[in-house]
Structure 1
Amino acid sequence: MKKITFLLLSLFTLSALAQRGGGGPDAAYVKENYTKYEYQIPMRDGKKLFTSVYVPKDQSKKYPIMMDRTCYSVAPYGTDQYKPSLGPSPQFLHDGFIFVYQDVRGRWMSEGIYEEMTPELENHKTTNDIDEGTDTYDTIDWLIKNIPNNNGKVGVWGISYPGFYTTTSLLSRHPALVAASPQAPIADLWRDDGWHNGAFMLVANFGFYPGFTNRQDDKPTQRRGKEFNAGTEDGYDFFMKMGSMKNTNDKYFKDTIRLWNEMMNHPDYDQHWKDRNVLPHLHDIKTATLVTGGWYDAEDLYGAINTYKTLVKLNPNTPVYFAMGPWVHGGWARGTGDHLGDVDFGGATGPFYREKIEFAFFSHYLKGTPLDLPKVSTFETGANQWKTYNTWPPSPAQERNLYFLPGGKLSFTAPAAGKDTYNEFVSDPNNPVPFLNHKSMDMDREYMTADQRFAQKNPGVLTYQTDVLDHDVTLAGNIWANLKVSTTGTDADFVVKVLDVYPDTAKNNKFTGEGVQMAGYEQMVRSEAVRGKYRTGFDKPTAFVPGQVSPVNFELQDILHTFKKGHRIMVQVQSTWFPLIDRNTQQFQDIMKAKDTDFKKATHRVYISKAHPSFLKVRVM
């Protein structure tokens, strides 16, 4: 994720420990076995990028290079200050590599002006035609020529924003780059972290930019950004009192954060964002690639899935591997990965990935060890087991439709009759449906599996569910919402959530929270939002005609989940999801410039008839 916000991932926490001079279980080993060097590596346009290099003290053999390029700082700075651990996991540290960490252009101690998701160029005709691909090429070239005892092979890895820089390292196309692992990479800034189908991800973005913005000029610094202090832990109340989106500047940021203003000034998927979509550039790639993501990644699920799919499509002869587990953003890097919130995954999943997938991949391509790694390794939630495939989505998965029916029913059987059958609800942006059932200023990662019974009781939520399943049902691949709707307004958001409803006999597990009962638990499996005015194209907002039935189709992204026999499949539809996404005024306008008085109630209808069916398109194994 680019938006680490208030959620400090275990990986980021490790970096923070290093910056504070803290230690860890491998800290002594690092100092005893590695020598640290610092360099200002020149780029083709003359700018220099700050780079820390940790070299094994044992110089009796040659080592491959493992590199992480980051906008989150390579700290600690100073050749006498060491990171408490090196590499993606302790296996790398103890096996022996040359570890390289670099502040990307315009961040921390590197020269230049920072661009968020630097646009990639297809042609580099002059030395001033630079991007992340050229910066990576120049860095690799310098390292290979100047760091003693390297074996001429380079691997790159990174999580979240560094995952994006790992993806762009592929575009360097340097012959020494033989392996790369983009992990939770941002692929399309507008679609990953900024807007989900046009609905602005409010709580994540608002909390991110003040702390991220430690510098907006070309002057290197170790100064950190200052996190925003809301003075409360009640995010719902805070953002309601804040009012419209333009108040973020009027009340708090005062037009001082350039990157925030870029988001506020470009709510549509215009050329600004199209230039920051790396996916179209992923052609002619020869580097072996392992793309990693988590099914419960609230930030960059889109990036992981679509980076993999694009690489496979555009580079059919290149070894491309895909790993997806039951993890939150970066959750595979540290920890056990045995649960999320109340939901038990049946055992540790993180160590398996780190040893059998990630380390095995890099060890093979950088050191020549044997490799027996399936092209696709995915964890099947619900059934809690690893599954391997040759392709993703797996070829046995067949498309089927799950229809919304009268009486709150959900079925693979289409509605038999009716022309204007519908369910309706009043959407009030001044009383939005919360995305959490507790107070928080954060985008709590547990919301991805949280019990949704609190939402089902809200009058602004429609609910559809199957009968009790008489056999297991496994969904594998992407889900598309195909809604037929009308509204009394001229714009509207629609949120669709897919839930696994546990039977009344379900027992609590060791991770079940206090006061929670797994009996009847409504576990969220997948969810997504769309801003209705983008239903005909993200770059072409179109108003609703009040009362007119309109199709609203959008992707909920991929899952691999088994709804067990005795469970139910449930779908919830709502129009507000606050403050995860910002409020829609329900009028056709630039919501980023709206006034507090622009928010209006509207009545939304979801049609469930033969003439106007609403359904989910799923892939069933």
Structure 2
Amino acid sequence: MKKFIVFAFAIIIIQSACAQSPGDAAYIKANYIKQEYQIPMRDGKKLFTSVYIPKDRSKTYPVMMDRTCYSVAPYGPDAYKSALGPSGLFVRDGFIFVYQDVRGRWMSEGIYEEMTPELEIHKTSKDVDEGTDTYDTIDWLIKNIPNNNGKVGVWGISYPGFYTTTALLSRHPALAAASPQAPIADLWRDDGWHNGAFFLVANFGFYPGFTNRQDGVPTQRKAKQFEGKTDDGYDFFMKMGPMKNTNDKYYKDTIRLWNEMLDHPDYDRHWKDRNVLLHLHDIKTPTLVTGGWYDAEDLYGAINTYKTLVTKNPQTPVYFAMGPWVHGGWARGDGDHLGDVDFGGAQGPHYREDIEFNFFSHYLKGTPLNLAPVNTFETGINQWRTYNTWPPKNTVDKQLYFLPGGKLSFNPPATSKDSYDEYVSDPNNPVPFIADRSKTMDMQREYMTADQRFLAGRKDVISYQTDVLDQDVTIAGNIWANLKVSTTGTDADFVVKVLDVYPDTALNNKFTAPGVKMAGYEQMVRSEPIRGKYRNSFEHPEPFVPGKVTPVNFELQDILHTFKKGHRIMVQVQSTWFPLIDRNPQTFVNIMKANESDFKKATQRIYTSKAHPSFLKVRVVE
């Protein structure tokens, strides 16, 4: 959603994230007129809206709209954006571009809610949500903006991706196309908690910079950033102590949205009401859902928005595009690498030109369209693939078993002996999520492909790996971890990471950092944590029985990755991942209110026997 590095940077990549030509700014001023409006909603509130209209009035144009909580700046009829639309292709092709501050943000009236709950029924004019606000906006635009052709397209990345999804819920007849890109779908699951484990660095520094107002008074005032006075988040958060100290030491209960996070650690009604997936039925608008395999913020949102739309709306054209990108990476730059990993050339232009622009041009202007329903990039071998469905149908379910001696195999354990691996997890010495602790104040996006060899000396990280592969193994779709564990505590986190281990003959590429060798590189392909007390229910946590063998099953989300012949597949398991996720005290308490005395060492066991097998369930392409 949001929390990518710092807020100011988030505005750059989310609000104005589009690949533009150097001359676009001058072209926009020469060829577009900017107008500003306060568009009335059905309950009387007015939403600030900037409209850029082509000066050439000899023909009509479709509308391209982006609704955002990140400001439509610059404000003033003579202050122009230097970039318009999803990419520069749109600027020169001719569209009416609309940007709107959503309710309660910046220059729009109303009180802001984080992911406004959607209503299934709107009985009165006071029953408003993002769907009704979008309907009222589209209706006003079609009736009041000259030279529009009666068709509206909506797009947005991250939070604006969520507003694009809610645009579908407006069900306005003029809404002809929509593209939710990296959309938040379920705030608890996307950005707050991954299977109950709180994403600390992604959230902590975001809310001060995001909270420029908490009332109904429009303002252009920018928020003040949190100044931690260090880039070493590992040290900063260890010294901060338990989560309750975020208020005791820093925020002093002044940030309403942060307090909502602290007050609702479980998946309760507060979060269920913000799950937009529940409302994605009876959708008629053609939709292009876009995401990146290495999106550290909203991977869940993109994948599950697509899956929900195609399942609940089988007659509606729904397209899916997933490339080798970070959050919003398809909208700017080349998208040719992440960290040390080379993607075999620029992958961003293909999306912008052949997928996104063609999609909107077809549905808004009637141009021909030759676009497969699913366009996905296969990492590992760096090839684009097209399918009719996702996951593709030509897969077979298999299990990758954890075996004694650190082995990983598609063959199940043969021994009946109750074998296991164990480690001591110490919340006061947590496993870092990247090698350079001095860069842990932010969620470094490179962690998603980073080399894991820096953990080789840690005794609290368990590794299992296959023999050298004698043929390519391609996994497509979601991965499920099925662990059999025990703990001496009453709560525990378990982090599962799937790695691609390069052969010793692997050569460096042009993106390989100084001092790094791709020979033997342990590239992370997919990783997810679970807070163990949520193993049976996200809504109703329950403690572990110390020493009891317990199943812990959770989803690691989708991949399309080929582990090439000569490589190995590795799986790592650990119980801390700091400060990417907060520390689990390993005692059954409300972690947001925990005391320092609640944090205890615990011994974790991962079972590898025939009676208690641990494995990953994967979909292997035949």
TM-score where L is the length of structure 1: 0.98
Provide the C-alpha distance between the structure 2 equivalents of 1:575 and 1:14, rounded to a whole number of angstroms: 33
Provide the C-alpha distance between the structure 2 equivalents of 1:496 and 1:422, rounded to a whole number of angstroms: 16
Provide the C-alpha distance between the structure 1 equivalents of 2:29 and 2:455, rounded to a whole number of angstroms: 52
Provide the C-alpha distance between the structure 1 equivalents of 2:353 and 2:10, rounded to a whole number of angstroms: 18
Asked if 1:512 is matched to 2:512, the reply is: yes
Residue 267 (structure 1) aligns with: 265
Residue 26 (structure 2) aligns with: 28
Asked if 1:150 is matched to 2:134, the reply is: no
Secondary structure at the counterpart of residue 332 of structure 1: helix
CA contact (8 A) 2:503 2:566 kept: yes
Say which of 61, 66, 69 aligns to 2:67: 69
Provide the C-alpha distance between the structure 1 equivalents of 2:213 and 2:248, rounded to a whole number of angstroms: 21
Residue 600 (structure 1) aligns with: 600
Q: Greater shift after overlay, 438-447 or 138-147?
A: 438-447
The offset of 1:457, in angstroms, is: 2.4
Residue 329 (structure 1) aligns with: 327
The offset of 1:5, in angstroms, is: 3.9
The offset of 1:460, in angstroms, is: 0.8
The offset of 1:417, in angstroms, is: 1.6
The offset of 1:9, in angstroms, is: 5.7
The offset of 1:2, in angstroms, is: 2.6
Residue 299 (structure 2) aligns with: 301
CA contact (8 A) 2:7 2:209 kept: no
CA contact (8 A) 2:7 2:210 kept: no
The offset of 1:442, in angstroms, is: 1.0
Q: After the TM superposition, which residues 11-22 of structure 1 pair with which residues of structure 2 at under 5 Å, given as runs? A: 12-13=12-13, 15=15
Provide the C-alpha distance between the structure 2 equivalents of 1:201 and 1:226, rounded to a whole number of angstroms: 22
Residue 397 (structure 2) aligns with: 399
Secondary structure at the counterpart of residue 433 of structure 1: coil
The offset of 1:596, in angstroms, is: 1.5
Residue 540 (structure 1) aligns with: 540
Amino acid of the residue matched to residue 166 of structure 1?
T
Superposed CA RMSD in Å reads: 1.4
CA contact (8 A) 2:4 2:443 kept: no
The offset of 1:207, in angstroms, is: 1.2
CA contact (8 A) 2:13 2:328 kept: no
CA-to-aligned-CA distance 1:235-281 (integer Å, 9 cap, x gap): 10000000000000000000000000000000000000000000010
Provide the C-alpha distance between the structure 2 equivalents of 1:457 and 1:370, rounded to a whole number of angstroms: 57
CA-to-aligned-CA distance 1:560-597 (integer Å, 9 cap, x gap): 00000000000000000000000000000100000122
Amino acid of the residue matched to residue 48 of structure 1?
K
The offset of 1:458, in angstroms, is: 1.0
The offset of 1:418, in angstroms, is: 2.3
Classify 1:25/1:430 alpha carbon distance in 2 versus 1 (closer, same or farther; 3 Å): farther
Amino acid of the residue matched to residue 173 of structure 1?
R
Amino acid of the residue matched to residue 614 of structure 1?
S
Provide the C-alpha distance between the structure 2 equivalents of 1:265 and 1:201, rounded to a whole number of angstroms: 15
CA contact (8 A) 1:506 1:519 kept: yes
Residue 121 (structure 2) aligns with: 123
Classify 1:468/1:8 alpha carbon distance in 2 versus 1 (closer, same or farther; 3 Å): farther
Asked if 1:48 is matched to 2:32, the reply is: no
The offset of 1:14, in angstroms, is: 8.0
Residue 251 (structure 1) aligns with: 249
Classify 1:411/1:162 alpha carbon distance in 2 versus 1 (closer, same or farther; 3 Å): same
Classify 1:387/1:570 alpha carbon distance in 2 versus 1 (closer, same or farther; 3 Å): same
Asked if 1:502 is matched to 2:511, the reply is: no
CA-to-aligned-CA distance 1:448-506 (integer Å, 9 cap, x gap): 00000012321110000000001000000000000000000000000000000000000
CA contact (8 A) 1:294 1:327 kept: yes
Residue 437 (structure 1) aligns with: 435
Runs of 4+ deviating beyond 6 Å: none
CA-to-aligned-CA distance 1:362-395 (integer Å, 9 cap, x gap): 0000000000000000000001000000000000
Provide the C-alpha distance between the structure 2 equivalents of 1:303 and 1:214, rounded to a whole number of angstroms: 25
Amino acid of the residue matched to residue 574 of structure 2?
Q
The offset of 1:3, in angstroms, is: 2.0
CA contact (8 A) 1:27 1:85 kept: yes
Amino acid of the residue matched to residue 363 of structure 1?
S
- Unmatched 5+ stretches in structure 1: none
CA-to-aligned-CA distance 1:496-527 (integer Å, 9 cap, x gap): 00000000000000000011000000000000
CA contact (8 A) 2:7 2:206 kept: no
Provide the C-alpha distance between the structure 2 equivalents of 1:341 and 1:78, rounded to a whole number of angstroms: 40
Asked if 1:276 is matched to 2:281, the reply is: no
Secondary structure at the counterpart of residue 486 of structure 1: strand
Amino acid of the residue matched to residue 267 of structure 1?
P
Provide the C-alpha distance between the structure 2 equivalents of 1:374 and 1:7, rounded to a whole number of angstroms: 36
CA contact (8 A) 1:164 1:185 kept: yes
TM-score where L is the length of structure 2: 0.98
Residue 456 (structure 1) aligns with: 456
Classify 1:8/1:415 alpha carbon distance in 2 versus 1 (closer, same or farther; 3 Å): farther
Classify 1:435/1:603 alpha carbon distance in 2 versus 1 (closer, same or farther; 3 Å): same
Q: After the TM superposition, which residues 310-325 of structure 1 pair with which residues of structure 2 at under 5 Å, given as runs? A: 310-325=308-323
Amino acid of the residue matched to residue 32 of structure 2?
Y
